[in-house]
Amino acid sequence: MSYQPNPYDFRDNRVLEKALADLPDSVEFIDIEVQRVPPMVLKGLRSQFDYAGRHGFYLWLPTAAGPQLKTMGLDDYDLAHLSLEGTDFRPHNRATTILKRSTVDHIVGLNNGGTNDISNLCLFPHIVNQLKDAWEWTQKRGLFRKEGIIQTIAPKKLENGQFNPVPLFPDQYYPF
């Protein structure tokens, strides 16, 4: 019997390589310099993000990425609610259902020297966030690593040079 990789296990390098090869055009690989962040600093940054960063990103998002959010299925009411309430979603709100399939992701992770600044945040499907984490972890473990540099998955940049805060993915995107 031949080995059949679990298509959901990004720790398996064959699964990881296939998933990375099938990324949509809305994202790209960028090189980042590996930085050591002291544990207490990292804990403070994570707390700050949990307390204000994610909420601030959701408040800012309708202004910055309204057309992309509408493509995801949100309407004007959802955008107005999001810009007023941030992440204080109501249980049966369509925006809640749509946005819960995604996660606010740091383009350059906090553990790699990234910040909680809005320009370093984007909205990724959960599966892409998991893929990104697995790719970074694999490189840090020593595989595929350049000295002091790792690659990460980031949204493509817009014409103004900023990262697109909401890169679009095909419906029900699964990279395997």
- Segment 21-42, tens digit of pLDDT: 888 889 999 999 888 889 999 9
Chain-centroid distance, C-alpha 154: 8
Q: How far apart are the first and last CA of the chain?
A: 22
pLDDT tens per residue, range 150-168:
889 999 998 888 899 988 8
| Pairing mode of beta strands 149-155, 121-125 | unpaired
Tell me if 75 sits within 8 A of 148, measured CB to CB: no
Which token pair is 47? 């707390």
Strands (E), the chain: 27-33, 102-106, 121-125, 149-155
* 12 — pLDDT class (breaks 50, 70, 90): low
pLDDT exceeds 60 at position 2: no
Mean pLDDT of 16-24: 82
Count Cβ neighbours within 10 Å for each residue of 72-105 and write b for 16 or more, e otherwise.
Answer: bebeeebbebbeeebeebeeebebbeebeebbbb
Residue 91 pLDDT = 53
pTM as predicted: 0.83
Does residue 3 carry a pLDDT above 50? no
